Structure 1
Amino acid sequence: MKHRGRHRRRRRGRALRAVLAGTALSLTAAATLISASQAQVTDGPGALRALDSPVARGELRLTGHRVPAAWLDRLSSAMGRPVGVDEVLGSAGRELRDAADCGAEERAALPVVPAATRAYCWDEADARGWRPGAVTTSAGAGEDGRWGGRRVIASAWTSGDGPGADGGRTGDAVPAATGRGLSRVAFVDADAPGRPRHVSALLVVPVDGGRDYRGLASPVSGMVWYRDKLLVTAGAGDRAALYVYDVDRVLRAGAGGDAVGRVPGGWSAHGHRYVLPAVAAYRPAAGGPRPAALSLDRTTTPDSVVAAERVAADAARPARLWRYPLGEGPAPAGPLAADRAGHVEAVEAYETRATGIGGVLARRPPGSGRGDWYLARAAGAPEGRAALGRQNGAGAEAVECGADRSRHCWSADAGSLAYREDTGEVWSQSGRMLFALPLASLDASLR
């Protein structure tokens, strides 16, 4: 009885913190709107225009390349038995803080409208020297939206001061990166009692026949979790457009230090306990766009991955949105549906006048016959706030806030978007805040 009473008091405490957090978020949002200069309502991006020509579709083609199984086996043999994300989460010792326990400066990164209903912040020590990137969840990992019995959120981060890539070593099975920085994925146990616990794995690419690995020297702006694979975007300095990671192939790196790869006495991962080696990569067509944002759409048959490219506000051309089908069975070069030559074709594509796209979702409302595309995009607003809108073949709608009908209502950054069917929530992150809100509230805010 004493234990149950204590649990009830804890639940009441958490509920009270949630209420306080909501109040604090509302006050912060109101202060932001009052202090910001009046923002003019600009013309919206209008309706989507379908891209149906073979040439336009051909530019969106990807070609898959596997990392040889012998390479992966050699790496595992040297580093020890691979483990899965579920086992790794069992060792998670770091925690996120509830929004009520976060500072006002941190909470200022949250959306004004619609308001976040769940929000957490990363500890400063966990985020120092790293920039937030894409978010995805285990919603597509299984029918129940769980992995290893847990609801998991995957949060990508890129180092601003990590070592540069080596430009590729002889024998790389997948394209080598030429940019700087390192990328990691933090796996968050959203079902953990109390504060969500998390653990990170450095993203790496096997080299030298699997005798070593290099860091993925590329920011991760888009990411999708489907079954046992993560699809991760690669930046312009990389010959690959997407990398594929297997969440059941996490390896332990025991040596300390800032090095990445084999070191005297073991393996190092820039201070991380775990590495996640790429198992495949998708290379873009010559002159084709590189996905900047990704998300999973389970309203199509088969399930699909939607992508968006990011163009600047002063670009002389529109941005493109497109869709790749997912395979219904195991695929040697990754989860995307491919032909015998390893080519992946876009099954749907559009042009949009939206610029600065950082997040994309696509949904086909039951019985409507139309496809809606939700875009988070940098708007150049005061306070650095982004805009959130919805487009389809008929037109565009935007979230508005304040008496001036400002469209600068979204988070401080146009971050990636991920939808969970099992909870009806859209997840994103901005600054040190990881947050969620119902898709229904987003739809209700569109005008």
Structure 2
Amino acid sequence: MRHRGRHRRRRRGRALRAFLSGTALALTAAATMISVSQATVPDAPGGLKPLTAAAETGKLRLTENLVPQASLDRLSAEMGRPVGVGAVLEGADRTLRDAIDCSSAERRALPVAPTATRAYCWNTDDTQGWQPGAVTTSGDADDDGVWGANRVILSGWSRSDGPTADRGLARVAFVDANDLNHPAYAWALLAVPVDGGRDYRGLVSHVSGMVWYQDKLLVTADDGDETALYVYDMNRVQRATVDADAVGRVPGGWSASGYRYVLPAVGSYRLSDASGAPHPAAVSLDRSTAPDSLVAGEWTLDGGDRSSRLWRYPFSTVPGHEGLLAADAAGRVGASEAYETKVTGVRAVLSYGNAWYVTRAAGTKKQHGALWRQTADPAGGAAKAPECGAADTHTCWSGLTDSLSYWEETGEVWTQSGRVLFATPLASIDRSAE
């Protein structure tokens, strides 16, 4: 029976790869029919411009604020012993759909070039009214790609519709990626401890950026008044004890808006209050630096006249500070490298080696976006992007991807757009941008 099951999975895998290839050909054919007005290629943005002036780099400084250990211990004592990632995966009760089972409307979110080699669709019933955001994986968490005994993908979402009390709530899907022929997932609510660990509130923000590094999960947050990077401990997942719509302490126990798991923040990084300080809306991990670094980028208006800033923060190598950024004695974290890019409408950023990759949002929901590859050479260098269609347009990428996550062990870049989660090899991105 095991052999027959394995053969069925192999046949389905081959069918899926053939289907993705066919889908790519169909999308490419469709791209050749894009109107000239839609296919107009913006001026190439050129190379990256280094930012070295203290007046500019000082705006990028963060201040570390860790939740007191006593508050975290109090919350754990009240809620019960925290669990880890493995326990959440054991409770995974939802399944992603293979690309072959996605609708044609969902598949339109896939890039034309480079093509996706893996693609899945989220279930409509539990993503309706939710906005997709960032993606990170156990390939970020550990260089061998495994967390404990598991391969994991994390996908961030925020509530965009529904009851007023739920608007903006953020959650993360823990996807069991051990068998990518059958990826199952479970949800956990993101929260922030309050009242000295006697309660918690839901994190209210679009999850546009997210990086899982060692045992910490860093999440971008912008509640309209203040921008921050919230820090979560992946060994401190708490179980909700009451199934209710409320968030926090309720009569009889603890509720997480109907979810079984909740992640309370263990700290945050706040931006400098300097005028003109950028908001790190997009983040990713770069393992090609020493030490490993958190890459950040700001959103700018599509078609605007202001350059976007890209920069990085080093991760700490100090024992006891695992997964946190390299802060000085006063808790300040400075950027180790910063640039400007002329790409507008930036949505996601990735850096590896001497290359930086930024995605540009689509003009409308029916269009594709662009993915530019730029060099960090101080002398400058040409920016390159995949071309497709009869008009050699650069709008070949997915329409709206908030993040790019490079799984170094497999060579794949993971992201999501709409209800589609997909991956493509970094080597394919480089080849298509030549």
Farther off after superposition, 283-292 or 17-26: 17-26
Change (3 A) 1:36 1:152: farther
**1:269 match:** 256
Q: In the aligned structure 2, how far is the partner of 1:357 from the partner of 1:142? A: 28
1:219 equivalent in alignment to 2:202: no
Residue pair 1:66, 1:280 contacting (<8 A) in 2 also = yes
Partner of 1:94: 94
Residue 257 of structure 1, CA deviation: 2.5
Deviation at 1:129, TM superposition (A): 1.3
Instruction: Report if aligned partners of 1:236, 1:290 keep a CA contact under 8 Å in 2.
Output: no
CA distance in 2, matches of 1:382, 1:344: 37
Aligned to 1:128: 128
Instruction: Name the counterpart of 2:361.
Output: 378
| Alignment of structure 1 residues 83-122 onto 2, 5 Å | 83-122=83-122
Name the count of aligned residue pairs. 427
User: Do the aligned partners of 1:48 and 1:391 also contact (CA within 8 Å) in 2?
Assistant: yes
Q: Following the alignment from structure 1 to structure 2, what is the Cα–Cα distance between the partners of residues 163 and 320?
A: 36
Amino acid at match of 1:445: S
1:361 corresponds to 2:360: no
2:171 matches 1:184: yes
CA displacement at 1:379 relative to structure 2: 3.9
- On the 8 A contact 1:324/1:344 being kept in 2, the answer is yes
| 1:66–1:333 contact (8 Å) kept in structure 2 | no
| Corresponding residue for residue 7 of structure 1 | 6
Amino acid at match of 1:52: T
Contact 1:162 1:181 in 2 (8 A): no
**CA separation in 2, counterparts of 1:89 and 1:236?**
30
Instruction: Give the TM-score normalised by the residue count of structure 2.
Output: 0.94
Query: What is the Cα-based RMSD across aligned positions, in Å?
Result: 1.9
Instruction: Spell out, residue by residue over 1:115-142, the C-alpha distance to the aligned partner (whole angstroms, 9 max, x if none).
Output: 0000000010121111100011111322
Of residues 418, 426, 431, the one that matches 1:439 is 426
User: Per-residue displacement from partner, 1:51-90 (whole Å, max 9, x unpaired)?
Assistant: 1011111100000001111111111111111001122101
Q: CA deviation at 1:46?
A: 1.5
Matched, 1:413 2:400: yes
Structure 1: segments with no counterpart, 5+ residues: 166-178, 365-370
**Aligned residue identity for 1:340:** A
User: Structure 1's 210 and 162: CA in aligned 2 closer, same or farther, altered over 3 A?
Assistant: farther
- Counterparts of 1:239-318 in structure 2, within 5 Å, are 239-286=226-273, 287=275, 288-318=277-307
Measured after TM superposition, the shift of residue 315 of structure 1 is: 3.8
1:71 maps onto 2:71 in alignment: yes
Q: Does 1:202 align with 2:189?
A: yes
Name the CA distance, whole Å, in 1 between partners of 2:288 and 2:372. 19
1:403 counterpart letter in structure 2 = A
Shift of 1:161: 3.0
> Matched residues in 1 for 2:225 and 2:84: separation?
27
* Percent of aligned pairs sharing the same letter: 56
Determine the C-alpha separation between the residues in 1 that align with 2:392 and 2:329: 52
C-alpha separation between the residues in 2 aligned to 1:145 and 1:193? 14
Whole-Å separation in 1 of the counterparts to 2:59 and 2:13: 50
2:87 counterpart letter in structure 1: E
Question: CA–CA distance in 2 between the matches of 1:150 and 1:215?
Answer: 27
